[in-house]
Amino acid sequence: MSACDLSVRIASLVLRNPVLSASGTYGHGLEMGVFTAAAELGAWVSKTVTLEPRGGNPAPRICETEAGLLNSIGLENRGLEHYIAHTLPLMAAADTVVVTNIGGERVQDFAELARRLDGESAVDALEVNLSCPNVQGGKLPFATDRVLAAEVVRAVRAATHKPIFAKLSPNTAGLGEIARAVEGAGADAITAVNTLLGLALDWRTRRPGLATVQGGYSGPGIKPVALRCAWECARAVRIPVIGCGGIQDAADALEYLVAGCTAVQVGTASFADPALPGKLAREMASLLAAQGIGSARELCGTIHDGREARDAVQAR
C-alpha cells in the first residue's frame, strides 16, 4: 500500500498534514509536548493572546455535559509582552507551523497585536478570534456582524504581512455572507467554527453550571452544526477553510475534508486524550490509503451536494 500524501497548503504555508490544534484547548502547544511531538501536527495554534494580561472569568468556568463541555474561561492569558518574551522563544524551536491566535475588545487592539507580532519570525500566521465582544458596539461579538468582522480583518491585514485565519462563530445567521466579507477584507483562510453558546443547570439547586451562566459548548455534540457551518463557508469563499468542532477520530476529520475543508482543528477531544491530535494524521493516512486515495487534497470538497463545492476548493 503506497503512502498517502497528507500535505496541504494554506496561503503561503505548506503544512505536513491537515491536523491543527484548536486554540484554547492545547495550551500554546508546549504543554502537550510530553504527549505529542510537534512534528506530528500540521500546526500549533496558541491560546488567545491579548494586549494586556487577563485574569479570566470566575469559577466555575468548566462544566461537563452529556455530549461535551461548556467553558467560560474568559480569555485568561498573560498578555502580549509575556507571550513574546517567554512563550515564543520556546515555540520557535518546535518542528511545526506556529499560529498565534489574537483577541481584542476594539478593532485597534487587533491591529496593534498584529503589528507587534509581524516582526516575530517564530509566528507563521495569525488566527483572529472574532468571537471576542466589541466593547464599542454593545459587547456583541465581532463575528456576528459582517461589517464589523471585515473591519477587524482589514485592520489586521494592514498591520501584517503574515497569513490571516479568520475564526468565525456559529452563533449568527448569514455565516456565508460573513465568510465572504472577511475574505474580501484580506483573510487568507477561515476557521469554522468557534463554540456554540450553551447553558447547563441543576434543577434541584436552580444553579447554572458556570459562574457566567452561559458559555461555549464544544465536543462531539456540536459536530453536525459545526460541519454544516464549515460546509457553508467552503461554498461561499475561494480561500481555504479549516474545520473545527466535535472531531473525535480520523473519520470525523475526513468528513470535514469532504465538506470542503482544507484542514481541521482538534480541540475538546484533546482533554480526554492529549495524544489524539498526533494520532489523527496517521489514522487519516491509513483510511485514505485503504480507499485508494493518494492525498488528502483529493478528498477536499467531494461532497455530493449538487453544487460546485469541489470546483471551488480545487481552484484554490
User: What residues act catalytically?
Assistant: 132
**Of 55, 67, 62, which is closest to residue 25 (Cα–Cα)?**
62
**Of 57, 106, 105, 98, which is closest to residue 77 (Cα–Cα)?**
57
Phi, psi of 156 (to 5 degrees): -65, -40
**Of 130, 64, 274, 248, which is closest to residue 264 (Cα–Cα)?**
248
3-class SS of residue 111: helix
In this structure, the number of other CB atoms found within 10 A of the CB of residue 8 comes to 23
Q: Look up residue 228 and give its three cell numbers.
A: 454544516
Q: Look up residue 226 and give its three cell numbers.
A: 459545526
* Bridge partners, 68 (sequence order): 65
Alpha-carbon 21 to chain mean position: 8
